[in-house]
Amino acid sequence: MILKHSFVEYIPEDIKEDKLYVSVENEIIVHKCCCGCGEKVFLPLSPVDWKFIFDGESITIDPSIGNWGMACKSHYWIKNGKIVWSNNWNQDQIDDCRINETVEHQRYFNSKKISFWSRIISFFKSNN
């Protein structure tokens, strides 16, 4: 299956099976799970979540999409609009991945806090 894409401001209620809905304004991509289970998959866009490349014709999403919280537990990549199935992960692999994601998120958001306060301090130092 090749996934079409649609750049939207807001995600529609009716999500089509073979379409990626990309909202740059709202920093999210939504699609129906590629396994056919019908579940909606939400991919937040950020430096520590998912990224996408639009080459003028198709979308590539990185990293892989592991639907660990869904019954299907599907795992795939979307490269140039095509689904590339990945191997199934066992629960230990899923748990390790979740731990790593949590650590990445904490580092990223903690650095944002430090960065913000660093800017405030720098502002006051430069105005003295």
Same domain, yes or no, for 67 and 106?
no
Query: Biggest alpha carbon distance in the chain?
Result: 62
| Distance between CA atoms of residues 61 and 122, nearest Å | 37
Q: What is the 3-state secondary structure (H, E, C) of 36-101?
A: CCCCEEEEEECCCCEEEEECCCCEEEEEEEECCCCCCCCEEEEECCEEEECCCCCHHHHHHHHHHH
Residues 84, 94, single domain; the answer is no
Question: Going by C-beta distance under 8 Å and a sequence separation of 6 or more, which residues neighbour residue 62?
Answer: 50, 51, 52, 53, 77
Domain match, 15 and 73 both? yes
Whole-number pLDDT of residue 97: 76
Determine which helix (DSSP H) or strand (DSSP E) holds 108, and give its type and residue range: helix 91-126
CB count in 10 Å sphere of residue 49: 16
9 and 69 share one domain: yes
In this structure, the answer to whether residues 3 and 50 fall within a common structural domain is: yes
If asked whether residues 4 and 33 sit together in one domain, one would say yes
Asked if 5 and 65 sit in the same domain, the reply is yes
Q: Which domain holds residue 78?
A: 1-88
Regarding whether 51 and 110 lie in a shared domain, the answer is no
Give yes or no: residues 96 and 81 share one domain: no
Same-domain pairing of 1 and 21: yes
66 shares a domain with 22 = yes
pLDDT tens for each residue of the chain, 128 residues long: 899 999 999 999 999 999 999 999 999 999 999 999 999 999 999 998 999 999 999 999 999 999 989 999 999 999 999 999 998 878 888 778 788 888 787 887 776 666 666 667 766 776 65
Tell me what pLDDT residue 9 has: 97
Co-location of 16 and 68 in the same domain: yes
Amino acid 110: pLDDT? 74
- Residue 87 pLDDT: 82
Predicted confidence at residue 100, as pLDDT, reads 80
Cα 41 from Cα 38, distance rounded (Å): 9
Domain total of the chain: 2
Element (H, E) at 109: helix 91-126
The owner of tokens 């790593």 is 100
